[in-house]
Amino acid sequence: MFNTHKIGRNDPCWCKSGLKYKNCHESFDQKIADYKKHGVPVPRRDMIKTKEQIDGIREAGLINTAALDLVEREIKIGMSTEDINTMVHNFITERGGIPATLNYEGFPKSLCTSLNDEICHGIPDKNVILADGDIINVDITTIYNGYYADASRMFMLGNVKPEVKKFVEVVKECFELGVKAVKPWGRLGDIGDAINTHAKKHGYVVVRDIGGHGVGIKFHEDPYVCHVGKEGTGMLLAPGMVFTVEPMINMGKEEFYVDEKNGWTVYTVDGMPSAQFEVTLAVLEDGIEILTH
């Protein structure tokens, strides 16, 4: 169904821009074909978003970012993670959005709240009360007009142990280096290389088997974005790709397990803290755009 060479140069482009193919994605397709000929794994056409789709994801991103800003202003010791859930759920729905996690494959809440040794997919709970010294990742995905935007931040409450504070700061640096490594016509492995190199330098461990993902039309799309990688390897990063960078990094060992009772929450085996930051970004012709800022 994506048979490009059948498109005439004067036919409308496959991206539905309304432009003639020769004035739109023809040179793009030629460039992709050239990389492919040289053995580079290239994205499928359904991983390439149109300008209209990126505009839609940005709109969802605006609500999502405002929801995270709200959490940043309101989060405090003594609050339950259920309180965060209620606040964010109301905020998103009042603006015409839908919290993507709610009822997603049975997930019961409108966001994920992952505390201390929880790596990801923590479930908001009225009995989980934020305490002095806690670190927490709040991960929100908003659907708006059918488009998805996904981001998360870390919050530190009260007197966080200096070594844990340092850890969270380094995880943020790793994440920022990962985002910086995304370049048009670069490679997916560049991201994981940048993140993992910095984490290792500080003695921390990147979780290899839970990673980022394409996003925008659906919650989880291809490609899988591994946060451990090798520069110059992996899928070509072509303009129009939209995906998350969201390294999960452990202060201790990499090993994790999933909560048997709820089927979701992922914990470190050694009980040491884990931290994560996340954005949704678009690869453009001349750089990148973070769609959740």
Q: Which is nearer to Zn ion, 13 or 140 (CB)?
A: 13
Q: Which is nearer to Zn ion, 57 or 168 (CB)?
A: 57
Q: Which is nearer to Zn ion, 17 or 262 (CB)?
A: 17
Q: Which is nearer to Zn ion, 13 or 54 (CB)?
A: 13
Residue 45 CB, nearest distance to Zn ion (Å)? Answer: 10
Copy the structure tokens of residue 171. 């995880």
- Annotate each residue in 91-120 with x if it binds Zn ion (CB under 5 A) or - if it does not, as one string: ------------------------------
**How far is CA 109 from each of CA 3, 101, 148, 289, rounded to the nearest angstrom?**
41, 6, 17, 29
Q: Which is nearer to Zn ion, 13 or 154 (CB)?
A: 13
Which amino acid is residue 134, in one-letter code? D
Q: Which is nearer to Zn ion, 49 or 58 (CB)?
A: 49
49 lies in the site for Zn ion, by CB under 5 A: no
Q: Which is nearer to Zn ion, 25 or 187 (CB)?
A: 25
Q: Which is nearer to Zn ion, 13 or 177 (CB)?
A: 13
- The answer to whether 212 and 280 have CB atoms below 8 angstroms apart is no
Q: How many residues bind Zn ion (CB under 5 A)?
A: 5
Which span sits near Zn ion by CB under 5 A: 6-14, 125-133, 234-242, 263-271?
6-14
Among all chains, which residue has been given the structure tokens 């969201």? 246
Residue 8 CB, nearest distance to Zn ion (Å)? Answer: 14
17 lies in the site for Zn ion, by CB under 5 A: yes
Copy the structure tokens of residue 172. 């943020």
Which span sits near Zn ion by CB under 5 A: 14-22, 92-100, 122-130, 179-187?
14-22
Give the strand pairing for 212-214 and 221-225.
antiparallel
Residue 29 CB, nearest distance to Zn ion (Å)? Answer: 9
Site for Zn ion in 19-48 (CB under 5 A): 24-25
37-61 per-residue burial string, b: 16 or more CB within 10 A, e: under 16: eeebebbebebbbbeebbebbbbbb
Residue 56 CB, nearest distance to Zn ion (Å)? Answer: 17
Is the peptide bond prior to 223 cis by the omega test (within 30 degrees of 0)?
yes
Using alpha carbons only, what angle is made at residue 169 by residues 111 and 84, rounded to the nearest 5 degrees?
A: 20
Question: CA-to-CA distance for 226 and 231, rounded, in angstroms?
Answer: 12
Cα–chain-centroid distance for residue 11? Answer: 36
The values of phi and psi at residue 58, to 5°, are -60, -40
Residue 27 CB, nearest distance to Zn ion (Å)? Answer: 10
The values of phi and psi at residue 99, to 5°, are -70, 120
Residue 103 CB, nearest distance to Zn ion (Å)? Answer: 35
15 lies in the site for Zn ion, by CB under 5 A: yes
Residue 26 CB, nearest distance to Zn ion (Å)? Answer: 8
Question: Of residues 9, 11, 12, 13, which one binds Zn ion by CB under 5 A?
Answer: 13
Residue 41 CB, nearest distance to Zn ion (Å)? Answer: 22
**How far is CA 53 from each of CA 62, 180, 192, 213, 217, rounded to the nearest angstrom?**
14, 23, 26, 17, 8
Residues that bind Zn ion (CB under 5 A): 13, 15, 17, 24-25
